[in-house]
Structure 1
Amino acid sequence: MPYVYSDSVNIHFRTGTGSGPTVLLAHGFLMDESMFDPVRKLLAHTDINVVAWDARGHGRTGYGRSPAFDYWDLAEDGLRVLDAIGAETAVVGGMSQGGYAALRMALLAPERVSALALLDTEAGACTRTEEIRYEEFFDEWCGTGELVPLAERLAPQLIGGDRPEIWRWWITRWLTHDRAAIHPAARCLIARDSVLGRLGEIGAPALVLRGEHDLTSTAEKSARLAAGLPGAGAVRTVPGAGHGCAVTHPEQVAAALLELVGTSTSRRAEPIVAAGI
């Protein structure tokens, strides 16, 4: 399995087989890079190189010397993955917390982000009400009580859609991991800063997509995200999907990514004309 060293952390990532444009995807909380396998499989007939990576504290990526980090650190991790595969630019995106990292990558290194794929995500910080709800949930998750009922309640909310077989698959994975190990990543999630005021700095084409029944990245939050990004059009909605539409409805997500790659590829040929040179 390939890894890249970033700020004392060995970041695990996996590349696709395509030799064309790179799409770098970051997963949601309590998941890992394998959540994009259905999308990767659907795009395997194209030349797109789908690369996905494990965030700190998830999958095969640990915390390194210090468990304290934020989404700006994850953005740097994503850039190191691009370095490792020799990609000067990429379509960068992610689901939920993966989108938080993708937005910050576009702010840190705009020249390397040819387009943004923002799936069931937002740009704001937690409200105090959300902080309290998260704190109560993670106190329970990282505690010593029965985990199975908690995981069974979480799966339909975190993943959504009408796919109980997918819920069961992820529940099984959660139950085999050290439940307390997620706590530093939870602190990152709860304490994240807002980048709403900086969205206007991002000029890359942007896809803002959400599941119809996503109660976390609500229609209002998604509309605010799209409105702030100069390169975004209207929010695209996946009917019947929830927060994890990339897992439950990969066909729609793969089609949207394919369209976005085409947009970013054609746009790279435009600056000379636009500049009047």
Structure 2
Amino acid sequence: MPFARAIDAEIHYEDSGGEGPVLLLGHEFLMDRTMFNSQRAALTPEFRLVTWDARGHGDTRDEGLPFTYWTCARDALTVLDQLGVEKAVLGGISQGGFIALRTALLAPERVSALVLVSTEAHEPTSAELANARRFLDKWHEDAVRPALANHLAHSLIGEDEGHRSFWVRRWLTRDAHATEVAAGALLTRDCLLDRLAEITCPTLVIHPTRSGIPRAHARELADRLPDARYLEIEGARQTVSMTHPLPVNIAIQDFLRDNVIPRAVTSPRVRTGETPVSRKAEQ
């Protein structure tokens, strides 16, 4: 398994290889790089897709110490350094998007574009903090953890039983301490709204309409970024890359062709045929 070595962690990643522009994707909280399997199948080899596991997740090895999403942003740069990639498109879902935004602020010269899904630039609300604390307190109780895992799966994934059962099984075998530490990064994230004007690269903001991220927050993110394209996917929840891969893949492919390799716009799309969910773009 390939790893990029940070000072206090070994960051696991998967690299599709190829000569296309590099797209580095970060996953949702409590998930891992495998949530982008559909994107790997659809977007390569036109794009070189690199997916990675954040600290406290997947196969990344760390010391179980507290960290922030700024730490993870440096980890993302470490992965690019390991691959010898000077500049890449960065993106991710929710937590992965939080990290991508911070990476673009830390090293704008390394980021050619952003793909942000179910993402915001706000800090946690007081209600989010209170709910998370109650959830984490119960997560340590073996008797109630299965019910909590199923509730979380429905919130993030929706009615897709296959994906729900897969992730519930994974969550029930997770180290509860690792979950607590990873939640610390989520719940102590800082507000970036006043710094979004610094991010001048082209950005795609995808908002699933049943995401836990408020629509107003997603719209504000897109409105404050100087060069952003905004897209809604109706009826989808947070993990839209898994449950609604076709519209996500088409949106990413079209955006990258327009902004990273414009000469390829006339190439075949990800797939032909009718998109199974409605898509609404607001300019």
TM-score by length of structure 2 reads 0.89
Q: Does 1:249 align with 2:221?
A: no
**1:141 corresponding residue in structure 2:** 139
Can you list the C-alpha shifts for 1:29-79, whole angstroms capped at 9, x where unaligned?
0000010011111123x4211101000000011333x61110000000000
Residue 193 in 1 paired to residue 190 in 2?
Answer: yes
Write the letter of the residue equivalent to 1:153: H
- Stretch deviating more after TM superposition (129-138 or 71-80): 129-138
Q: How many residues align?
A: 263
Alignment of 1:78-227 (within 5 A): 78-160=76-158, 162-214=159-211, 216-227=212-223
Structure 2: gaps spanning 5 or more residues: 264-283
Q: Mark the CA change 1:82 to 1:71 in structure 2 (over 3 Å): closer, same or farther.
A: same
What do residues 14-34 of structure 1 show as CA deviations (whole Å, max 9, x unaligned)? Answer: 111332100000000000001
Residue 59 of structure 2 corresponds to which residue in structure 1?
Answer: 60
Q: Which residue is equivalent to 2:18?
A: 18
The SS at the match of 1:29 is: coil
Check if 1:28 corresponds to 2:43. no
3-state DSSP class of the match of 2:218? helix
> What is the Cα deviation at residue 266 of structure 1?
4.8
CA distance in 2, matches of 1:5, 1:194: 28
Secondary structure of 2:189's aligned partner: coil
Task: State the partner residue of 1:260.
Answer: 255
Q: CA RMSD in A?
A: 1.6
TM value normalised by structure 1: 0.91
Residue 249 (structure 1) shift? 0.8
| Separation in 2, partners of 1:119, 1:154 | 18
Q: Please say if 1:240 is aligned against 2:235.
A: yes
Given that 2:202 and 2:259 are in contact with CA atoms closer than 8 Å, whether structure 1 keeps it comes out as yes
* Alignment check: 8 A CA contact 2:98 2:120 kept: yes
Can you list the C-alpha shifts for 1:107-143, whole angstroms capped at 9, x where unaligned? 0011111100000011110111211111111111133
- How far does residue 7 in structure 1 lie from its aligned partner after superposition? 2.5
Name the SS of the counterpart of 1:40 in structure 2. helix
1:239: how far off? 1.9
Letter in 1 for 2:13: F
